[in-house]
Structure 1
Amino acid sequence: MPDEKTPLDAHGIDLVKALALESASPTIMSVTTSGLSAGVPSSLPVAFDRKSQTFKSLKPLIEEFRTAPDRRKGTATVETLASFIALVDRHKDENSVLFGKTAMPDPKLTAVLDYDKEGVAARNRSHRIVYAFPLTEEFKAWVATSGEAMEQEIFAAFLEEHSAELAAPTEGEISEYERLFKEKMATPSEVVALSRHLEVFVAARAKQGIRLQTGERVVEFAEEHQNAKGEAIIVPGVFMVSVPAFVAGDPVRIPARLRYRVKSSKVVWFYQLYRWEFFLREQVGENLKTAADATGLPAFEGAPEV
């Protein structure tokens, strides 16, 4: 006999429809995580997709409706040491730390505000403040030209332009560097006088360069229209540069050796900043100590974890 099917009434149709919808709809479940891992909630809400038989996280959906961040994170960049200290003071807590990368070419102070330590639950280490020691234009100019040969007129103009950055040597500097270089140290006025003398003799021929027993060097010039009349200029061997290396920072004192070469009756001048990277490293180290003292935070030479 052929099968007979009983037609569904309205109630049966609604029941089938409800069962179909229920089987296709996800179910919100709570997964207990206590004891499974540190740093996670004791229970996690998840959606169970009956159709695909998979679990899905609700976090992306929840994040869409967030009106405030769940924690502080991100990296602030400041341009001066004073701003670095002030901003660290604003956000620090008892476990914040400072790191200092003191070596050139990219020194940097980094405050990790949400750092962790032994005996304390691990933190995210993702809220930071960075001070990257932006260099001043004046210091860049001294470094860029160090060791570069310059014609007499250009060198005279350079010394004149940067005369405000010349410093009188202290007694200790005179004793140390005259002994080290076997050269006489110059005062700022002597270096400025040299630049002005060079401007006078810019069209003259150099006769010779000699070294005196005093440690000074002498270059003699002859005016072409004066029948080779010799004019002597004392050339100091070392002078002090005092220039802020970092924006709004303290001046850094660096000795510079002054040199020239006489070739084919022309003089080529150049200077060499002595171990300028060492003096900048000292300055960065002092700034790290200053920041640690001002904020009361521990400081380490190096870089934090990535």
Structure 2
Amino acid sequence: MVKTDSIAGEPASQPDQVAAIAKLAREAAGVDIIELKIAARGLPESVPIARLYGESPEFDSLKRLAEEWRLHPERKTGTAQVDTLTSFIDLTNRHKTADSAIFANTDWKAPALTAVIDYHAVEGTDAQWLKHRVHYAFPLSEQWKTWVSTNGKPMAQADFAQFIEDNIADLSSPEALEVTDYEAKFATKIATPSELVALSRGLAVRVESKVASNVVLQSGEGQIVWDEAHQGADGKSLKVPGLFMLSIPLFHMGETQRVPVRLRYRIREGSTIWFYQIYRPDVAVTERVTEDYEDAMSQTGLPGFIGKPEPA
């Protein structure tokens, strides 16, 4: 049977038949790269796609194939966790753009600073990815953790004397404004470090003694007298101040913060139980976080906001 051309009705030559077969084969399994025009915000004007031929023609994206050959990431992503305020500032300065922003969580139980490098632009309506960040979670210093760990917990006299001796470097003499403010507010005297040392050493020699009397002096100090022949190194009763000051960094390698602490004791069956109470630890932490937040804005030149950024 002789094949004829469907249009002319004439027999097709052998070369024409081969060419027709080859054309059909290409159309059955061929691939063309074409440009797809796009008119949508946030997308490029056009993207390349593959047009597949065959019994079921279709279009396919070339992006996943191209990604296999990528030499660099498409954009900066991830959250860097830093341990010091200095590192937070330096790393933010390294990556910041004109639209970067700093957010501060001032909750004293979980304070944090977060710089969103790829934050939404100030001008224009195009959104950004919000996936490149620097996070500083204010890791607590060892000194602050030590004082917080036993805050409000009762201690035997010997244990308290040892605790004061071990942490004497954290104590500070009161400043003039602190004396005026706190002594009037609490109606008691603020101790100097040397007075606390004398108190701890005086307590150490009375571990087995029974309390004979306990009075509150006009100054607001307590006075404890032990029923014992010898009364310590100087042979006198001890005056117990009602307050003392700490000067310690609240956060790892951070600036020092002055924190007032109330000194308390109770008499139980002739024995003295000691404890202390940090005055408004939330205020101390919030003040320190706020100052560090302001330093971060000043040294990076970025705007700041109290709160948390949008999820990425």
The aligned residue for residue 67 of structure 1 is 71
| Map 1:220-259 → 2, pairs under 5 A | 220-223=225-228, 226=229, 232-259=237-264
In structure 2, give the amino acid aligned to 1:63.
E
Cα separation, partners in 2 of 1:98 and 1:18, compared to 1, 3 Å: same
The aligned residue for residue 46 of structure 2 is 43
Greater alpha carbon shift after TM alignment, 119-128 vs 62-71: 119-128
In structure 2, give the amino acid aligned to 1:267.
T
- 2:154 pairs with 149, 154, 157, which one? 149
* Distance in 2 between residues matched to 1:74 and 1:26, nearest whole Å: 38
2:270 pairs with 1:265: yes
- 2:90 pairs with 86, 89, 94, which one? 86
The aligned residue for residue 32 of structure 1 is 37
Give the TM-score normalised by the residue count of structure 1: 0.88
> Is the CA contact 2:99–2:122 (under 8 Å) kept in the aligned structure 1?
no
In structure 2, give the amino acid aligned to 1:183.
T
The aligned residue for residue 206 of structure 2 is 201
Query: What secondary structure is seen at the aligned counterpart in 2 of 1:270?
Result: strand
Q: In angstroms, what is the RMSD of aligned CA positions?
A: 2.6
* Distance in 1 between residues matched to 2:230 and 2:163, nearest whole Å: 30
Q: After TM superposition, give the deviation of residue 186 of structure 1 in Å.
A: 0.8
Cα separation, partners in 2 of 1:52 and 1:232, compared to 1, 3 Å: farther
The aligned residue for residue 60 of structure 2 is 56
Q: After TM superposition, give the deviation of residue 74 of structure 1 in Å.
A: 1.7
Cα separation, partners in 2 of 1:52 and 1:238, compared to 1, 3 Å: farther
Deviations 1:57-103 (A, max 9, x none): 22222111111122222211211111111122222222221111111
Q: After TM superposition, give the deviation of residue 12 of structure 1 in Å.
A: 6.3
* Distance in 2 between residues matched to 1:118 and 1:301, nearest whole Å: 18
* Distance in 2 between residues matched to 1:114 and 1:301, nearest whole Å: 18
Cα separation, partners in 2 of 1:52 and 1:108, compared to 1, 3 Å: farther
* Distance in 2 between residues matched to 1:17 and 1:199, nearest whole Å: 104
The aligned residue for residue 123 of structure 2 is 119
Cα separation, partners in 2 of 1:262 and 1:189, compared to 1, 3 Å: same
The aligned residue for residue 102 of structure 1 is 106
2:290 pairs with 1:285: yes
Greater alpha carbon shift after TM alignment, 229-238 vs 204-213: 229-238
> Is the CA contact 2:187–2:219 (under 8 Å) kept in the aligned structure 1?
no
Structure 2, unmatched stretches of 5+, are 4-13
Cα separation, partners in 2 of 1:16 and 1:184, compared to 1, 3 Å: same
The aligned residue for residue 140 of structure 1 is 145
Greater alpha carbon shift after TM alignment, 201-210 vs 137-146: 201-210
The aligned residue for residue 77 of structure 1 is 81
Query: What secondary structure is seen at the aligned counterpart in 1 of 2:191?
Result: coil
Query: What secondary structure is seen at the aligned counterpart in 1 of 2:190?
Result: coil
Q: After TM superposition, give the deviation of residue 43 of structure 1 in Å.
A: 0.9
In structure 2, give the amino acid aligned to 1:147.
G
Greater alpha carbon shift after TM alignment, 146-155 vs 39-48: 39-48
Q: After TM superposition, give the deviation of residue 14 of structure 1 in Å.
A: 8.8
The aligned residue for residue 130 of structure 1 is 135
Q: After TM superposition, give the deviation of residue 18 of structure 1 in Å.
A: 6.6
> Is the CA contact 1:110–1:128 (under 8 Å) kept in the aligned structure 2?
yes
Greater alpha carbon shift after TM alignment, 70-79 vs 146-155: 70-79
Q: After TM superposition, give the deviation of residue 118 of structure 1 in Å.
A: 4.0
- Residue identity over aligned pairs, in percent, reads 42
* Distance in 1 between residues matched to 2:57 and 2:305, nearest whole Å: 51
Deviations 1:6-47 (A, max 9, x none): 9xx9996896577456434554332111x2x22211112223
Q: After TM superposition, give the deviation of residue 287 of structure 1 in Å.
A: 0.8
Cα separation, partners in 2 of 1:265 and 1:63, compared to 1, 3 Å: same
> Is the CA contact 1:221–1:231 (under 8 Å) kept in the aligned structure 2?
no
Greater alpha carbon shift after TM alignment, 203-212 vs 147-156: 203-212
* Distance in 2 between residues matched to 1:173 and 1:52, nearest whole Å: 84
Query: What secondary structure is seen at the aligned counterpart in 2 of 1:98?
Result: strand
In structure 2, give the amino acid aligned to 1:40.
L
Query: What secondary structure is seen at the aligned counterpart in 1 of 2:275?
Result: strand
* Distance in 1 between residues matched to 2:66 and 2:162, nearest whole Å: 66
